[in-house]
Amino acid sequence: MKTIPFFLSILSLALILFISSCSKDEEGIPNNVIRYDGKNYKLAFAFGITFGSFEEGGVTYNSTDFYFIDRVVDPEANDAVYEHGLYLEMFSAGSADFQGGNFSHYSGSGSVPSGSLFIDGGLFFYDEDIDPVLIDGGTVKVQINGDNYTFTFDLVAKDGKKNGRKFFG
C-alpha cells in the first residue's frame, strides 16, 4: 500500500516538472539544456524521488533525488531509453517538505553545512561506453512558484570544467 502514494508523488512531481522551453539565458545557452565541454545536452523531462526528512545537527532536511532526462521516460520502467540525463541528490533544509533556495555542493568531509545542499550528482549516459561526468562542486538554485520549479545550475565537474545553466525557465 505504501507504493501507491510513492508512485503518485513521483508521477505528480514528474508532471509538475515537465516543461519544454526554448528561450536562451544571458550566456546564450538555451533553457532546458546543460552545457559540458562545449556540448549542449537537452533536458526535456524531470522527476524527483523524495526519501523523506531527517534531522542532522539540529537541522531538518528533506532528501530528494532529481533526474533530468533528454526525453519523457517512465520512471517505473526497467527499460527506459534515453541518451543522457543529469542526476542530483539534494537536501533542502528547514522543513519536512522540499523547499527552494540555494544549494551548495557538500563533499562529505567536515561538518555538515546548516543550509540546503547537494552531495552527489553527474551527467550520465545510456551508452555504457561513455563515462559519466561526476560533479565535484558548484551551486544549484531552485525557485518554486506554485507547481512550477526552476533549476539554475552552476556546476563544476571532477575534471574542473564548469557546466550548467537554467532548466525549466
Q: Which residue has the cell 523523506?
A: 52
pLDDT above 90 for 153: no
pLDDT above 50 for 141: yes
**What integer is the mean pLDDT of 130-143?**
92
Least confident of 27-41, 83-97, 133-147: 27-41
pLDDT of residue 161: 67
Find which of 43-47, 58-62, 64-68, 152-156 is predicted with most confidence, using mean pLDDT.
64-68
Please say whether the beta carbons of 155 and 164 come within 8 A. yes
pLDDT above 70 for 15: no
> Sorting pLDDT into bands at 50, 70 and 90, what band is 164?
low
pTM score: 0.77
CB-based contacts of 156, cutoff 8 Å, min separation 6: 105, 135, 136, 137, 138, 162, 163
Q: Where are the domains of the chain?
A: 3-167
pLDDT above 70 for 74: yes
pLDDT above 60 for 101: yes
